[in-house]
Structure 1
Amino acid sequence: MTGRRARGIDRRAFVKSALAIGGASALSACLDRTDDTDVPQGSAESLPERQHAWGAFVERDEHGNAVPVPHRLLLLLDYDGEGTPTEDERETVERALATLEDAYAWSHDGLLSTMAYSPSYFERFESSLPERVDLPAPEALASFENPALDAADAALHLASDHGHVLLAVEQALTGERDALNGVSVDASFDGVFSVAERRTGFTGDGLPAENQDVRGVPDSEPVPEDAPLYMGFKSTYEKTQASEDRVTIAEGAFAGGTTQHVSHMLLNLQQWYEQDDREQRVGKMFCPYHAENDVVEGAGDNLGSDAKMEKAKPAERAADEDGVVGHSQKMVSLREDGRPIILRRDFDSTDGGHAGLHFVSYQREIADFLDTRDAMTGADLAAETPVGQRNNNGILQYMNVTSRGNYLVPPRSKRALPTPEGDA
């Protein structure tokens, strides 16, 4: 692999490449190129009941924003058994997951994860999920979408500061390692789950710039050196994220759990960087007011813990008066107590050799995600104002959704092949 600036692949870019390739040889090569192999062990018995409880276990920046965990692996899994899962299989899955938590601390410096189940998984049971659990089958969410719809039974989302940790975990889960960070591996997914698809990626200051030698990025290599995401701006402000409490299922069989939406989008960065200048990009990502008044510096770290939408016009007015409506501007109408209703943990990717985004969100109900997506699509704005259906309508025209999936994330005590009734 050669960079367009004729530079060698630095360690972080190499780790990303190894993670994308996967397998024992990639793990070995990754370990040979890194000096961060001293990873703290953990204890499966001391972890929160919420699988999605990551917020207290990640780094925070000077403004109190959660620093996204840089290396990601999303494994889509097919159940290998016939009929419904057995108690022995549940015990095996739980032991395999608990082994990961004993091997690595529940932390950005160790390993964070969520194990989730799709509508397809629950269809094998005679009984149905409780009415209060909102888990519809995935579908296209706009007239211009034609995504593949995830049919895998489960999705395991893994995150760590260390790419080699994710590679080792994958090897352990597939029965190819007998020890993990000094902990014996006595159970794996082998014979219970098969990996249907693996999705990889990264997020963090400088990582997109180091990984832009792919399709979808113009030859001029314009991704800013310090940007945490391909589109050049920060997105994980504390006040533009729902709290973990807000996205947690409050009662019923799956109390303490949440729902998860996973989608993949190809990014058209040629158009984003070559057609638009910086002022236009700021207007479309945030709002025209921010563009006209130089509110955003660099990637947007100067904004603190919020996107500062107080002076932005309502989306309808901006669309009508300015002919442009910003992505963040459209989200304001959905805020509760000043914050959104979904918690995003998405990450960039070069899967398939193309710049992309794996959008991962957690919400109490999938309906919360659907409402958020409706606001992002802004079909009512496009129908009644000069913005057009996609042009100048936030960032829609720069993304092509290729897949969508919905999942239920049970509480930790029920994460191993649950029944619709929530039996552990």
Structure 2
Amino acid sequence: MPPSRSRGVSRREFVKAAVAIGGASALSACLGRENPDLPQGPDDLSALPRRQHAWNAALSTDDHGNHLQPRHHLLLYLDYTGDGAPSDADRETVETALRSLERSYPRRHEGEVGLLFTVGYAPAYFERFDAALPDGVDLPAPEPLAPFEDPAPDEPDAVVHLASDYGSVVLAAEEALLGEQSTLNGREMDATVEGVFERASLAEDGPNRRTGFIGAGLPADNQDVNGIPDSEPVPDDSPLYMGFKSGFEGNQASEDRVTIGSGPFAGGTTQHVSQIHLNLGQWYEQDSREQREATMFCPAHADEDRIEGVGDNLGTDTGVEACAEDLDSDAREKGVVGHSQKTATVREDGSPIILRRDFDSTDGGQAGVHFLSLQSSIADFVRTREAMNGSDLAEDTAVRQRSNNGILQYMSVRRRGNYLLPPRENRALPSPRPSE
């Protein structure tokens, strides 16, 4: 810790650092700080939801009813070790290992998340099969989605997203799943994925394990990284680096809305993950509070002083849907448009079409975001991202391509990946036509 820091290492900082480092030593140190008292999970798994992404029932809510994401996250990128289509024996091994995770920790215990996880598969995984994915499953290869970005594609075979309110649980689940320890929360693992999966080799030296956090106090405790000014400006109660909360229920698609409704993957969803670097020097040291409110939400919110602190007073809805009608006039007359204002234009029947479960990160010593969204079709994410670009506004008004165009100028998309999250019964090395 640099000598400029006046306070010691908090438990939250320590746990975040341990999750980022990984391995048995980090797990041991993390357990010494957290010492979670969690029971084992259920022996009978029949009551678990069919949808891998059905997390909301296990999540806490704030005073307004907004769902709060688990505090600690890990994205584990894996490649299948076999050649060609996976064998039934390998499928059974993977499913047994995943069920061991579910039996080792509860999804929720005494108001906190024990362990939640999903397993998703990239387009590259399905290329090993002769059959193609069925019509209606939209899973394109990742590509740039704006003229000013050039992200590297993430195309492992699979990605496992592990999440918990305890960093030690995330680390222990990673170690046990990969066969690096034989027990998990006092329970013997019935199988591991060792020999079936290995850590992925990603293009352009992409990290095959990515970590992060979300929750009040965590960004402030972990702001001594590149991309954040030395003045440590992140508010103490902010759940995210940019100083405002997100995840308002009124600005999120429902789990039903993002679920694939028919076909062999009915009950599943698609997942997009972007690795984004943040550069918040201007955000905190040059932009005023009013400017930050205008570019994050919309100019009307800033003009009328609608946002208190990190935005808790907004309840379950930011109210930016009304601002969406003023996009053109705000761009022409005020020379600025808001991030949420733009994305509010992409709704169906008044509701958003993607469910965000993103989290902040200090991977590589850089402030960043792992933007994780769920949607029934990757096309829904693409539509939302295109609205965020505001390209038409940039061409026709004083809003330049990135400056004053929402929060685009503070973000750099480094990597993108698309994944299919099958329902639980098909989550272990699925074929593109599981019913056949």
- What is the TM-score normalised by the length of structure 2? 0.95
Are 1:54 and 2:65 counterparts? no
Partner of 1:245, secondary structure, is: coil
Q: Distance in 2 between matches of 1:55 and 1:176?
A: 30
Percent of pairs identical after alignment? 61
* CA distance, structure 2, for counterparts of residue 186 and residue 178 of structure 1: 9
Aligned counterpart, 2:434: 422
Select the residue among 305, 316, 320 that pairs with 1:305. Answer: 316
Structure 1 equivalent of residue 422 of structure 2: 410
Instruction: Tell me what 1:102 maps to.
Output: 103
Contact 1:42 1:106 in 2 (8 A): no
Distance 2:331 2:246 in 1: 22
More deviation, 99-108/257-266: 99-108
Deviation at 1:423, TM superposition (A): 4.6
Amino acid in the other structure paired with 2:370: H
Shift, 1:37, TM fit: 3.5
> What stretches of structure 2 of length at least 5 have no aligned partner?
201-207
Tell whether the 8 Å contact from 2:331 to 2:397 is kept in structure 1 after alignment.
yes
Contact 1:239/1:338 (CA < 8 Å) preserved in 2?
A: no
Q: 1:3 to 1:60 in 2, by over 3 A?
A: farther
**2:169 aligned with 1:165, yes or no?**
yes
Provide the C-alpha distance between the structure 1 equivalents of 2:235 and 2:350, rounded to a whole number of angstroms.
30
TM-score, scaled to structure 1: 0.98
* Matching residue's letter, 2:245: K
Distance 2:102 2:133 in 1: 28
Partner of 1:11: 11
Alpha-carbon distance change, 3 to 259 in structure 1, aligned in 2, over 3 angstroms: farther
Higher deviation after alignment, 102-111 or 284-293: 102-111
Match of 1:276 among 282, 287, 292: 287
Structure 2 Cα separation of the partners of residues 38 and 409 of structure 1: 27
**Matched residues in 2 for 1:6 and 1:249: separation?**
50
- Structure 2 match to 1:290: 301
Looking at structure 2, the residues matched to 70 and 310 of structure 1 have their Cα atoms a distance apart, in angstroms, of: 29
Report if aligned partners of 2:123, 2:140 keep a CA contact under 8 Å in 1: yes
> Counterpart of 1:397 in structure 2: which amino acid?
Q
- Output the aligned Cα RMSD: 1.3
| Contact 2:77 2:156 (8 Å CA) reproduced | yes
After superposition, residues 250-261 of structure 1 pair within 5 angstroms as: 250-261=261-272
Rounded to whole Å, the distance in 1 between the matches of 2:9 and 2:148 is 37
Partner of 1:400: 412
Letter matched to residue 419 of structure 2 = Y
Equivalences for residues 21-420 of structure 1 within 5 A: 21-43=21-43, 44-107=45-108, 108-196=112-200, 197-309=208-320, 311-312=322-323, 313-420=325-432
Deviations 1:287-341 (A, max 9, x none): 0011111100000000000011255242122111211000011012112233210
Question: In the aligned structure 2, how far is the partner of 1:399 from the partner of 1:229?
Answer: 14
SS in 1 for 2:351: coil
Segment of structure 1 superposing worse, 303-312 or 215-224: 303-312
Query: 2: distance between equivalents of 1:97 and 1:310?
Result: 40
User: Matched residue pairs, number?
Assistant: 424
- What do the CA deviations read for 1:77-125 (whole angstroms, capped 9, x no partner)? 1111111100000000000000000001123521111100000000010
Please give the secondary structure, in 2, of the residue aligned with 1:146: coil
- Tell me how far apart the structure 1 counterparts of residues 244 and 79 of structure 2 sit (CA, whole Å): 36
- Partner SS, residue 25 of structure 1: helix
> Would the alpha carbon gap of residues 101 and 3 (structure 1) be closer, same or farther in structure 2, given more than 3 Å must change?
farther
What CA distance in whole angstroms lies between the structure 1 residues aligned with 2:246 and 2:434? Answer: 34
Any conservation in 1 of the 2:40–2:103 contact (CA below 8 Å)?
no
Q: Can you list the C-alpha shifts for 1:138-184, whole angstroms capped at 9, x where unaligned?
A: 00111111111002010111110010001101110111111111221
Distance (Å, rounded) in 2 between the aligned partners of 1:261 and 1:396? 18
CA–CA separation in structure 2 for the residues paired with 1:182 and 1:239: 40
User: One-letter code of the match for 2:190?
Assistant: D
2:251 & 2:3 partners in 1: Cα distance?
34
Over 3 Å counting, the alpha-carbon distance change for 1:276 and 1:102 in structure 2 is same
Paired with 1:127 and 1:87, the residues of 2 have a C-alpha distance of 17
Distance 1:244 1:224, change over 3 A: same
Instruction: State the 1:45 CA deviation.
Output: 2.9
Secondary structure at the aligned position of 2:34 is classed as coil
| SS of equivalent residue, structure 1 residue 283 | helix
Quick one: which amino acid aligns to residue 297 of structure 2? F
Give the distance between the partners of 2:428 and 2:3, measured in 1 at CA: 43
Give distance in 2, aligned partners of 1:152 and 1:227: 33
Aligned-partner Cα distance in 2 for 1:205–1:33: 19
> Which moves more between the two structures, 356-365 or 3-12?
3-12
Gaps spanning 5+ residues in structure 1: where? none
